Structure 1
Amino acid sequence: MAGDLGPSEGTGPVDPGAREGSAVLSDRTYDRILEPRSDRRLPLGDGTWHQLARAYVRVQLITQGAVFVLVIVAAVAAQVITGVRWQWIPAGVILLITLIGLIITPRQARSFGYQLRHDDLVFRRGILWQRVVAVPYGRMQLVDITHGPLDRGFGIAQLKLVTAAASTGVTIPGLTQEAAEHLRDTLVAVAETRRTGL
């Protein structure tokens, strides 16, 4: 059963993926989470961490590369049409930000991870600015899967968990389509059992 998280008396990390979905959740993903080197980083803790699909980085690089090219084309076209060069100032700022994004995206994507524990889902991301969120299964109100045309072409999707408190909502980008569907079914089944137990 997708929602089977093991004995109800357990409080430690329990991963439903370890039974039947581990291959689905770990298929075509990175093998380990990159962490900051500082001793003051947020600890990973115990349990199995699942990561984003490798295709997520390719989609991000294509998207940011397209923005980079469009900004250059727009700036050149504006210069040819108007004969002025002031448009290179905002274009340069946008190009610099996009270039930084292109450089850090592969490392940033490897800092994302999620873990299915007995009572909650833990999501972490970030190298410089770390964020770790634990979403209790019983508080989940909606599990939403979205994907654009480029995402579909690379077989990835984004899974969004909505709770009563907006600050605890989580969006996990770059899951494989199979992992997103498996995770959605698992979370819905587990959330139902947790709510009935309240």
Structure 2
Amino acid sequence: MAERLEIPEAVWQRVSPKYIVAEYIGAVIGAAVFLVAAWVFTFTGWPVATWALIAVAVLSAITLVLIPRQVKAIGYQLREDDLLFRRGILFQRFVAVPYGRMQLVDINRGPLLRALGLSELKFVTAAASTGITIPGLPEVNADDLRDRLVALAETRRAGL
């Protein structure tokens, strides 16, 4: 069973390295909010506020260290009958989405991703558990991939 997922690294398509910047910005903003909240609680006399501040700082530092590795672990592969998506370091997730089961291919571009020239490509199927999002794709690649997947999905509609 595990042999099917052991695919050579050269065939995995990676997300843009600029996505690391987007993840850093999001993590820093989130950490700042929690650090300020924990810092404010230290003035209320709450006994564990200082420990909460330290815990938030340590978790934020660990998150910032892991971001580049997490982004490098994201990949996808266009195979003959399906799209294989993977992400995760410790808890790896592999999802195979058959082309014929794709109902919607959506591109999202928030303000931060637009500023970096990136997009998120979301695939929706009838099964909620197989809906996946590939983050950090360059805009041109996302548009091309969407068009290609829509064309593949149209030619391989299953049971419709």
Q: TM-score, structure 1 length as denominator? A: 0.70
For the residues of structure 2 that align with 1:182 and 1:169, how far apart are their CA atoms? 19
Corresponding residue of 1:51: 14
User: Is the 1:111–1:125 contact (alpha carbons within 8 Å) kept by the matching residues of 2?
Assistant: yes
Structure 1 equivalent of residue 129 of structure 2? 167
Q: Which of 10, 23, 38 is residue 75 of structure 1 equivalent to?
A: 38
Tell whether 2:73 aligns with 1:108. no
Q: Which structure 1 residue ranges, 5 or more long, are not aligned?
A: 1-38
User: What pairs with 1:92-171 in structure 2 (closer than 5 Å)?
Assistant: 92-171=54-133
Go from structure 1 to structure 2 and tell me whether the alpha carbon gap of 1:119 and 1:63 turns closer, same or farther (over 3 Å shift).
same
- 1:194–1:46 Cα change, 3 Å: farther
Q: 2:141 aligned with 1:193, yes or no?
A: no
Instruction: Report the 3-state secondary structure (helix = DSSP H, G, I; strand = E; otherwise coil) of the residue aligned with 2:22.
Output: helix
Q: Which has the higher contact order (CA 8 A, sep 6+)?
A: 1
Q: Which moved more, 1:64-73 or 1:158-167?
A: 64-73
Aligned match of 2:143: 181
CA positional deviation for 1:78: 4.1
Q: Deviations over 1:88-112 (max 9, x none)?
A: 3444333333222111110111111
The structure-2 alpha-carbon separation of the partners of 1:154 and 1:109, relative to structure 1 and needing over 3 Å to count, comes to same
CA distance in 1, matches of 2:151, 2:57: 45
Write 1 or 2 for the structure with the bigger share of strand: 2
1:147 deviates by 2.2
- d(CA) in 2 for partners of 1:69, 1:167: 32
Q: Deviations over 1:143-172 (max 9, x none)?
A: 111122111111111111011111122111
Change (3 A) 1:162 1:99: same
**SS of residue matched to 2:64:** helix
Checking the alignment, whether the CA contact within 8 Å between 2:109 and 2:120 is kept in structure 1 is yes
Looking at structure 2, the residues matched to 123 and 177 of structure 1 have their Cα atoms a distance apart, in angstroms, of 19
1:47–1:195: structure 2 CA closer, same or farther, 3 Å change rule? Answer: farther
Out of 34, 40, 62, the position equivalent to 2:25 is 62
In the comparison of the two structures, how many residue pairs are matched? 158
Q: Which runs of 5+ in 2 are unaligned?
A: none
**Matches of residues 14-25 of structure 1 in structure 2 within 5 Å?**
none
Using the aligned pairs only, state the percent identity.
49
CA shift for structure 1 position 196? 7.8
